[in-house]
Amino acid sequence: MANTKVGLVRRVKTDARWKYYPAAYAANGRVKPGVAIVAGIEVKHKIGHYELRYYEGSKLRFESLSGISPAGSENMRKKKEAQLSVAKEAKKADVQIVPPDPKRKKLTDQLDMFVADALGRGAEEAAEVNKRACDEFLAITGKEYADEITDEVFKQYHREMTKRGRSKRTVHNRDSNVKSFLRYCGFDTKGLSKPPKYDRTMPEIYSDDDLASLFRSITDPKQNLLYRLLLGTGIREQESMYLEWDDIDTQSKTLRVHSKPKWDFRVKDFEERALPLSDDLLARLLAFKAKHPAGKGPIFDRSGQPDGHMLRTLKRLAREAGLGCGVCGGCKADRSECERWFLHKFRATYCTKLLRSGLDLRTVQQMMGHSDLTSTMRYLRPAENEQTQARINTINWG
Ligand SMILES: [Zn+2]
């Protein structure tokens, strides 16, 4: 009958050769880190790793636990022993048991790594957004492994999100957060169901009333200025994070958007641009600068570092100011973060306002830092354009 005992051995280098010695245990059953029993004596071998030693039939097998802690290795040993003994019993009962694939990775473990990687890059907000989306996905679908994810799982996920009152835009965003995580796990997401369509050709913009109430209610001078700047220059969230006083040229009344090697922030050629500042915005910037002596960090810093929490702050301020719409999925959820307030919407509003002012497409494209005209054209909303309405009225229709 098969032997189901599994030993924990330490693979160590002695006299320039790799050898196996039994791991040493303390009286309480814990593995003594790095200690091996050599000729009956406990010897500490810092360099080396643990392996499992067991029989498969009559064949002696070793399984490397390289990179796993002493306690983790002991857990692996107990698990292996349990598996072998279950397999033995199953064989007796003529039942076939399929052992788990050691290469099969748990999604929750992978998610921890995914989030840790993002935090390691300083992308706190992205880490948080992705974690929230993936946690929700795992809770809704109840799946544990990437290979359980099918098209049907995604269809169920989209249905449930819609049922929970999420807007189409949110479903889209969460869906792409989850899919980027799955790609990180090495999963091909190409064949998976896409979320319900929403019209990307119509960017959401703030109404003049929205903006008036925002600027009226946000009393924090730095945040108030940030939102005015996002609206008045259309710069991206990333670009605003690294903005410094040197980027503002008071002579030419422009704001220069360019790469910041010291922050490891890069813009592409067509994204580099000088943006005209309105007299009002320039005056506000200079007034703020006069009251807040410049430190070494960016203008809109968070303790001297680029602020990675701009979106969260906007959502919080909008909530505190009672600016939530009250009907979206975000407003109804516990966190009550209104979906109608987000940073990119300032940029969309800027672009729309430029186009409605009569500026030509090419100029607006350049000001937006768009690589192609199609991106800029998405902001043309002829049906809602008052000027178009006025023109229609001047036409003699017979
Ligand atoms: Zn809302």
CA 196–ligand 1 middle distance (angstroms):
20
pLDDT digit string (tens) for 276-296? 999 999 999 999 999 987 777
The count of other CB atoms within 10 Å of the CB of residue 294 is 12
Determine the distance from the C-alpha atom of residue 340 to the mean position of all C-alpha atoms in its chain, rounded to a whole number. Answer: 20
CA 392–ligand 1 middle distance (angstroms):
34
The residue whose two tokens read 């008071």 is 250
Determine the distance from the C-alpha atom of residue 109 to the mean position of all C-alpha atoms in its chain, rounded to a whole number. Answer: 16
CA 383–ligand 1 middle distance (angstroms):
25
Could you tell me the residue ranges of all domains in the chain?
6-92, 107-184, 208-383
* Superfamily of domain covering 208-383: Intergrase catalytic core (1.10.443.10)
User: In whole angstroms, what is the distance from residue 307 CA to residue 134 CA?
Assistant: 24
What is the reported pLDDT for 191?
85
CA 9–ligand 1 middle distance (angstroms):
59
User: In whole angstroms, what is the distance from residue 134 CA to residue 114 CA?
Assistant: 10
CA 339–ligand 1 middle distance (angstroms):
5
CA 169–ligand 1 middle distance (angstroms):
13
User: In whole angstroms, what is the distance from residue 70 CA to residue 73 CA?
Assistant: 5
- Contact (CB, 8 A) for 107 and 185: yes
CA 180–ligand 1 middle distance (angstroms):
26
CA 336–ligand 1 middle distance (angstroms):
7
User: In whole angstroms, what is the distance from residue 199 CA to residue 172 CA?
Assistant: 11
pLDDT digit string (tens) for 34-72? 899 988 899 888 888 899 999 988 899 999 887 777 887
CA 340–ligand 1 middle distance (angstroms):
6
The count of other CB atoms within 10 Å of the CB of residue 195 is 22
Lowest-confidence region among 2-6, 282-286, 343-347: 2-6
Confidence of residue 105 (pLDDT cuts 50, 70, 90): confident
pLDDT digit string (tens) for 114-169? 888 888 777 777 888 899 999 999 999 999 888 889 999 999 999 998 888 788 88
- Contact (CB, 8 A) for 171 and 158: yes
The 8-class DSSP code of residue 147 comes to: G
The residue whose two tokens read 């189409």 is 168
CA 298–ligand 1 middle distance (angstroms):
31
CA 329–ligand 1 middle distance (angstroms):
7
CA 346–ligand 1 middle distance (angstroms):
17
CA 139–ligand 1 middle distance (angstroms):
23
More confident residue, 185 or 133: 133
The count of other CB atoms within 10 Å of the CB of residue 15 is 5
User: In whole angstroms, what is the distance from residue 51 CA to residue 6 CA?
Assistant: 10
CA 341–ligand 1 middle distance (angstroms):
8
User: In whole angstroms, what is the distance from residue 6 CA to residue 80 CA?
Assistant: 7
Burial of 138 (0-12, 13-18, 19+ CB in 10 A): middle
